Structure 1
Amino acid sequence: MNSSPTRILPPRRTALLATGALLAAVLLAGCGTGVQAADGAAADPSGAGGAYPVTVENCGSEIVVDRAPERVVGLDPSQTELLVRLGVADRLVGQAQVANHPLPEDIADQVAGVPELSTETPPAREDLLAVEPDAVVAPTTYEFTAEQGFASMEQLAQAGAVSYVATGGCAERRQTSEVDDLLTDIANLGAILGVPDEATALAGEMSDRLDAVDAAVAGQERPTVAQLYVEGSTVSAIGAGVEYDIIRRAGGDNVFDPAEDLFEQFFAAAVTPEEIAARNPDVIVFGVHDDAQEAQARDYLTATFPEVTAVREDRLVAVPSSGLFPGSVGNVTAVEDVARAFYPDAF
């Protein structure tokens, strides 16, 4: 994306009936991304609690939104969950990649009637445009790859839709993304959707949970950790990105490092069993999609690394893949679960 402002106008099907209001600029301290409402901004007539227009920085570009979107699509269950927790389940007109991981039980019923636009891959361009979205939220820029047959940001803009990418999924941020990027997304989406109070409450909950982990693991002897993804007999090591930061926030020291050549181009890299054995981690954390994959991965790791400390001491920690996507509430849950596995007596 370029760095010039992109103005997204509201669909013609909803008129903008404005009344005067004033909203001071809201800046996210330490997050590197700002949300602003212009002086003299108008209160949104749709009933949302924000003021418009608002300007949001996302992936190096500015998006200007003139009113609260009313037809929203989450392009991954992680983003769909975030939208529901922000209180806009009634605005969802589509959800995508629904087979990647299930939604949490406490919110699944709220999207039961929302059309499923795709199962394992992003939806085809025609299928996404057919539901006439005015906002589309994705975990990464990949979901907007026109060459793959998906709707690009430009095509969505022409149709009157805002495209928002999780901060940790921006191309220039993917290698260095952190769990705290979720707080940026909550604030940005709260401004875009006109639900600032809900965003403040959700961000506060996430921050409180992370602070509790920080307090619990402070002063503990940190284990060495290999974070892996196992597919059959192929093993990839995670050495950067939000996945790496989850281990750090949980109180572990990853045996793979973002500065290594392995991770110069991507946050994960295929590694040999010999490489993992040589680093001999105290704990192995691995992402899984379901129970069957977890069982297969455990069997492989146990058979392949019998002399590695993590296997000998039975410290193999499975993490749902839903907790590893950028911009996911599951990032916080993953930090909590991994920290409990590292320090069971601290919680």
Structure 2
Amino acid sequence: MLKTTRPTIAALAGAGLLLTACGSGVEDPADADAAEGRTDGAESADVSLENCGQELQFDAAPQRIVGMSPAQTELLVRLGLADRMVGLAQTASSELPEDVGAQLDGVEELSEDMPPAREILMQVEPDFVYAPTSYEFSADQGFASIEQLAEAGAAPYIATGGCFERRAEGTVEDLFVDIENLGEIFAAEESAAELIADGRERLDQAAQLSEDAEPLTVAQVYVEGDSISVVGGGVEYDIIAQAGGDNVFSPDEEQFSSFVFAQISAEELAARDPEAITFGVEDAAHEEATREYFEQNHAEIQAVQEDRLIPVPNHHLFPGSLQNVDAVELVAEGLYGD
């Protein structure tokens, strides 16, 4: 029996505990940027945008930033903002790339497995807090709320794909919305444009693997104890589509009417009989245990028979993560690569 821990269902489901509609409407004309000679690293001019139902306004680029997960921290560093980072949260959920971590020596670690407590977050006096979901702002969990942060002069930003109203419709493209928004907020448009161009080029290359292939049927499965959960929407669903897979579960099904995850029976998974299964993993041991679970309990499924079991690191599936693109590449290679 496989027993999973926090960064699987618990962490990914946290993205359902969110706010309201998310979008962007940056009101900072390009001609104004040119007139002011803005370049990466310069102070931003007035920027206004909507994020998860809240209106955010900046008359200058924030100077004291907290990344509420390694995925958010990495994106901020890739935009050239390492010298503005004052806090790192949920650091145990994944390791930062070596080149990113090297730029963060001396930055305070606020929490490991959970979002930081309100008092701990407030001690570093942030003026910008970037989170994958609004769970990180749950006052009933002892975390600083959006309202409390606003009162303290800090802007809370939630990954577009993690917004409640977008959770079921979230896509990999939402990542590029976040990059563009952050580029505007921090006057880092050039770095943002480079990240977006690189991400889209990699997605195009991944899509080429399935160009001449019959789409394989896929299920994204999480196993926790005796329970099996599957994904029927959100960025996880879009990752499979971007990789050229045909998900055997659909967002239109009743079981996904209230959330993108649904618990199913072992018999239902066998009845859908996917040709491939993707599954989130924490580490090599977790991957091995998950493979053993499928081999011992679902030898009749095509994906198991063909050994088309595709592990994806859990943090690759979080909203607002550059690794969403990595996940598409991993799944595409697992489905159609040599």
CA deviation map 1:54-105 (0-9, x unaligned): 0122113321111111110010111011111111011110011111111123
Aligned match of 1:273:
266
Number of residue equivalences: 318
3-state SS of the aligned residue for 2:320?
coil
Question: How far apart are the structure 2 equivalents of 1:103 and 1:166?
Answer: 18
Show CA shifts across 1:17-76 (max 9, x none).
xxxxxxxxxxxxxx9532222797895999833641101221133211111111100101
- For structure 1, the 5+ residue unaligned runs are 4-30
Check conservation: 2:89, 2:112, Cα contact below 8 A. yes
Q: Select 2:24's aligned residue among 14, 25, 33.
A: 33
Is 1:78 matched with 2:62?
Answer: no
Q: Report deviation, 1:214.
A: 2.3
TM-score w.r.t. length of structure 1: 0.87
CA distance in 2, matches of 1:259, 1:295: 33
Q: Secondary structure at the match of 2:168?
A: helix
Partner of 1:138: 131
Q: Which SS does the other structure have where 1:292 is aligned?
A: helix
Structure 1 match to 2:177: 184
The offset of 1:2, in angstroms, is 7.5
> Partners in 2 of 1:43 and 1:69 — Cα distance?
18
Cα 1:44–1:264 shift into 2, 3 Å? farther
Query: Structure 1 stretches (4+) deviating beyond 3 angstroms?
Result: 38-47
Letter in 2 for 1:124: A
Are positions 1:226 and 2:229 aligned together?
no
Helix, strand or coil: the match of 1:331? helix
Residues of 2 paired with 1:243 and 1:288: CA distance? Answer: 14
Partner of 1:304: 297
Q: What are the equivalent positions in structure 2 for 1:316-335 lying under 5 Å apart? A: 316-335=309-328
Percent of aligned pairs sharing the same letter: 53
1:164 equivalent in alignment to 2:165: no
> 1:280·1:309 contact (CA, 8 Å) conserved in 2?
yes
RMSD: 2.1
RCO higher in 1 or 2 (8 Å CA, sep ≥ 6)? Answer: 2
Q: Does 1:62 align with 2:55?
A: yes
Q: What is the Cα deviation at residue 261 of structure 1?
A: 1.3
2:146 is the alignment partner of 1:153? yes
Higher helix share: 2
Task: Check 1:189–1:306 CA distance in 2 against 1; reply closer, same or farther (3 A cut).
Answer: same
Question: For residues 107 and 166 of structure 1, what CA distance do their matches in structure 2 show?
Answer: 20
Tell me the TM-score normalised to structure 2 length: 0.89
Q: What runs of 5+ residues in structure 2 fail to find an aligned partner?
A: 1-18
Give the aligned residue type for 1:95. Answer: L
Question: Residues 249-260 of structure 1 correspond to what in structure 2 (within 5 A)?
Answer: 249-260=242-253
- Answer whether contact 1:123 1:150 (CA < 8 A) is retained: yes
Distance 1:40 1:253, change over 3 A: closer
Which is strand-richer, 1 or 2?
1
